[in-house]
Structure 1
Amino acid sequence: MYSDVSIAGDPLELPHLLPPAPQHPSSVAEFAGLARSIAADRTQWAPQVRYDTATRWYARLRTGPGYEVWLLSWLPGQGSGLHDHGRSSGVLTVLDGTLHERALTARGETRRTLTPGQQRVFAPGYVHHVVNESLEGAVSLHVYFPGLTEMTPYACTPGARTPAQA
């Protein structure tokens, strides 16, 4: 006579029935989780932060199959300019300070204030401008999938968005 244990194995040994845990993220939720886990461990990113008075500072923290993780610092007044991320989707996570985002959508313009722990998830075609409008420095983490290969700058005209001419 067969029992469930003889057919499926000991239920206390369930791990042999589960798929292996993925080594790298493969969904938007997993990329957001990766960003949150890096954000939670200051020892991974805080020692690498630098500030540059001439421009935003950035460094690639990690790469994996089809994604990149970037660390950026923003002094007061520094901004990204209005841009998209080409064919990449992404997760922006604020680590320190406050950033302000202005996004252009089909429904118009939205503005958000982003503080530590807050995340923005975006798909290809998302056009936004991020700036540090505060009096303190700010730090953010950006995960791009696939890895960032282009950023289209935009000139904004009322009611429309137009790629800037090179």
Structure 2
Amino acid sequence: MLSDASLPQLSDISIAGDPLALPHLLPAEPAHPATVAGFAGLARTIAADRDRWAPLVAYDPTTRWYHRLQTGPGYEVWLLSWLPGQGTGAHDHGPSSGVLTVLEGELTETAGAARRNLTPGAQRVFAPGYVHEVVNAALTPAVSLHVYYPGLTEMPMHTTTPDAALTDWAACNSVHLA
């Protein structure tokens, strides 16, 4: 008869292996974002990589300058520059949601009665139907990054000031990431 000391010592790890040593069983990291948090994270990642976007920035004295920086399945990323006084006018983004991230300078967003000064690191997240106006009211140039999902296909202009009814937390959110 075998003694207890001679029996192999079994455990979950000895039977199934160490679950932390099995990275092939973990879910794959998605190649592209698919959630609001993922798109906001993409914007923060691009913002942190100044060498990627800063050499591309140009300024146009007659209109806002823009450059499509990246596309992926169902989204696009735009880099915009703003000289003092340049702005969008009141508009929405059609069926697209978006993330606006300030990279340099300061932008002012007006939505309904709310007015926000956005400085580098600030992000605004918005849903379809969110009406706002963005302007560089400062005395220095500004640069911003915009992620649209799905990609931007329309930007309807509004003749009145943005409607306060579309500025609640269901339609937009603001965070500051310094």
- TM-score, with structure 2 as normaliser: 0.82
Aligned to 1:126: 130
Identity rate of aligned residues, in percent? 72
Superposed CA offset, 1:100-122 (max 9, x none): 00013xxxx21100000000000
Distance 1:159 1:143 in 2: 23
Aligned partners of 2:84 and 2:138 also within 8 Å = yes
Q: Confirm whether residue 96 of structure 1 aligns to residue 100 of structure 2.
A: no
Q: 2:79 aligns with which of 61, 71, 74?
A: 71
**What secondary structure, in the 3-state scheme, does the structure 1 residue paired with 2:52 have?**
helix
Q: 2:89 aligns with which of 81, 98, 101?
A: 81
Aligned to 2:153: 149
State the superposition RMSD in angstroms.
1.9
Judged with a 3 Å threshold, the aligned counterparts in structure 2 of structure 1 residues 149 and 7 are, in CA distance, closer, same or farther, namely farther
- TM-score, with structure 1 as normaliser: 0.88
Superposed CA offset, 1:66-119 (max 9, x none): 000000000000001100000000000000000000013xxxx21100000000
Gaps of 5+ in 1: 162-166
Aligned partners of 2:99 and 2:124 also within 8 Å = yes
Q: Confirm whether residue 22 of structure 1 aligns to residue 9 of structure 2.
A: no
Aligned to 1:48: 56
Aligned to 1:136: 140
**What secondary structure, in the 3-state scheme, does the structure 2 residue paired with 1:47 have?**
helix
Gaps of 5+ in 2: 1-7, 166-178
Displacement, 1:160? 8.2
**What secondary structure, in the 3-state scheme, does the structure 1 residue paired with 2:159 have?**
strand
Distance 2:81 2:14 in 1: 58
Judged with a 3 Å threshold, the aligned counterparts in structure 2 of structure 1 residues 95 and 158 are, in CA distance, closer, same or farther, namely closer
Distance 1:59 1:158 in 2: 26
Aligned partners of 2:90 and 2:161 also within 8 Å = no
Distance 1:120 1:157 in 2: 19
